[in-house]
């Protein structure tokens, strides 16, 4: 079995090392994506390209469409028009091929969404066993390795309801990693957590970023964004209003919308 970089546990490099591959085709590409919720135009002609190893953080006021955009990438949200490509392959609207492409993109939700009736260990093995057809024993061994990596291996036999929010979210990350995804989507992964549990999840994500995982993260944690992002995208009213490197994004905002947004954060 091929050893993935994030399973080796080495952790000496800075967060934003040169992991971005400029030459490879983009892992995720959205072209002219449009979506309405009834009258509401939630995504307006969105174009987004995420390179291999790149960490893209999406921020913006609530209702700006950032969560919808994140969920659109693996088509958990339907779109009205536009195209989605995973490593250059077109993502169809339904069928086996869609499922296959989804299995290559990990997803972490705001509300964890661990399978409530399964143990922690089974939550992590169900993907590899049921989707990838891996042997149960093999999958279990790797799942324990991943659970250890995120620090919840001692809880393997419990059910999700017996774990704290922070622990559940780390299990959710392990569950995604078990699929050896090409990229991971994080839809407000810490928004449902008690303050003291936010960091334990952000630490795991920071580690992933450093090990070269391609990530798209929707978050309100600005310090975290500044630290791990290669690029920050600001969304408002269904548009990508501005995108830039973290330094430029926070130090030299160009649009009034972003200036207002950053100011409102400072007032808090």
Partner 1 sequence: MSEKKPEIPASFENARTKTAGKAAAAPKPLSIRDALYEPPGPKTRKRTAIATGISLSALAVLILLVIRQFYITGQLAPKYWTFFARKTTWKFLGKGLLGTLEAAALAGVLAFVMGFLMMLGRISRRRILRAVGTGIVEFTRGVPTLLFIYFFFLVVPRSGIKLAAIWKIATPVAISAAGVVAEVLRSGVNAVPKGQTEAALSLGMQHGKIFRKIVFPQAFRYITPALIAELVIVVKDTTFSYVVNFPDLMQNAKVLISNYDALVQIYFVTAVVYILINYLLNRISVTVADRTGTTL
Q: Residues in the site for partner 1, rule: CB under 8 A?
A: 9, 11, 14-15, 74, 76, 96, 99-107, 109, 111-117, 126-127, 130-131, 149-152, 154-155, 158-159, 161-164, 166-167, 170, 172, 175-176, 179, 185, 197, 199-201, 203-204, 206-207, 210, 223, 226-227, 246-247
Long-range contacts of 98-105 (CB under 8 A, 24+ apart): 99/131, 101/74, 102/74, 102/75, 103/127, 103/131, 103/132, 103/179, 103/181, 104/179, 104/181, 104/182, 104/183, 105/28, 105/73, 105/74, 105/181, 105/182, 105/183, 105/184, 105/185
Q: How far is the CB of 102 from partner 1 (least distance, A)?
A: 5
Phi-psi region of 42 (alpha: psi -120 to 50; beta: other; left: phi over 0): alpha
Helix 165-177 with 120-130: angle, nearest 10 deg: 20
Nearer to partner 1, 245 or 264 (CB): 245
Dist CA 59 CA 243 (whole Å) = 10
Is the CB of residue 185 less than 8 Å from the CB of residue 105?
yes
Q: How far is the CB of 100 from partner 1 (least distance, A)?
A: 6
Nearer to partner 1, 64 or 168 (CB): 168
Nearer to partner 1, 132 or 141 (CB): 132
Q: How far is the CB of 51 from partner 1 (least distance, A)?
A: 22
Dist CA 192 CA 139 (whole Å) = 29
Nearer to partner 1, 1 or 161 (CB): 161
Nearer to partner 1, 236 or 246 (CB): 246
Q: How far is the CB of 142 from partner 1 (least distance, A)?
A: 15
Q: How far is the CB of 45 from partner 1 (least distance, A)?
A: 25
Dist CA 172 CA 190 (whole Å) = 12
Nearer to partner 1, 38 or 95 (CB): 95
Q: How far is the CB of 183 from partner 1 (least distance, A)?
A: 12
Residue 122: helix, strand or coil by DSSP?
A: helix
């Amino acid at each position: 079995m091929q050893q993935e970089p994030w399973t080796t546990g080495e952790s000496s490099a800075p967060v934003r090392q040169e992991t971005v591959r400029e030459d490879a085709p983009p892992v995720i590409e959205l072209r002219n994506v449009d979506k309405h919720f009834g009258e509401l135009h939630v995504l307006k002609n969105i174009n987004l390209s995420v390179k291999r190893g790149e960490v893209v953080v999406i921020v913006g006021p609530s209702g700006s469409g950032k969560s919808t955009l994140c969920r659109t990438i693996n088509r958990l949200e339907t779109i009205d028009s536009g195209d989605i490509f995973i490593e250059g392959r077109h993502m169809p609207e339904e069928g086996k091929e869609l499922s296959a492409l989804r299995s290559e993109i990990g997803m972490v939700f705001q509300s964890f969404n661990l399978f409530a009736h399964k143990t922690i260990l089974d939550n992590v093995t169900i993907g590899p066993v049921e989707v990838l057809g891996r042997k149960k024993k093999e999958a279990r061994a790797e799942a324990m390795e991943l659970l250890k990596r995120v620090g919840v291996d001692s809880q393997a036999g419990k059910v999700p309801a017996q774990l704290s929010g922070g622990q559940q979210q780390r299990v959710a990350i392990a569950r995604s990693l078990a699929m050896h995804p090409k990229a991971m989507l994080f839809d407000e992964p810490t928004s449902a957590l008690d303050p003291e549990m936010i960091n334990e999840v952000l630490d795991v994500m920071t580690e992933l970023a450093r090990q070269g995982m391609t990530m798209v993260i929707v978050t309100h944690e600005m310090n975290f964004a500044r630290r791990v992002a290669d690029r920050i995208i600001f969304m408002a009213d269904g548009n990508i209003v501005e995108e830039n490197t973290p330094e430029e994004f926070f130090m030299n905002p160009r649009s009034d919308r972003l200036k207002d947004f950053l100011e409102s954060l400072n007032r808090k």
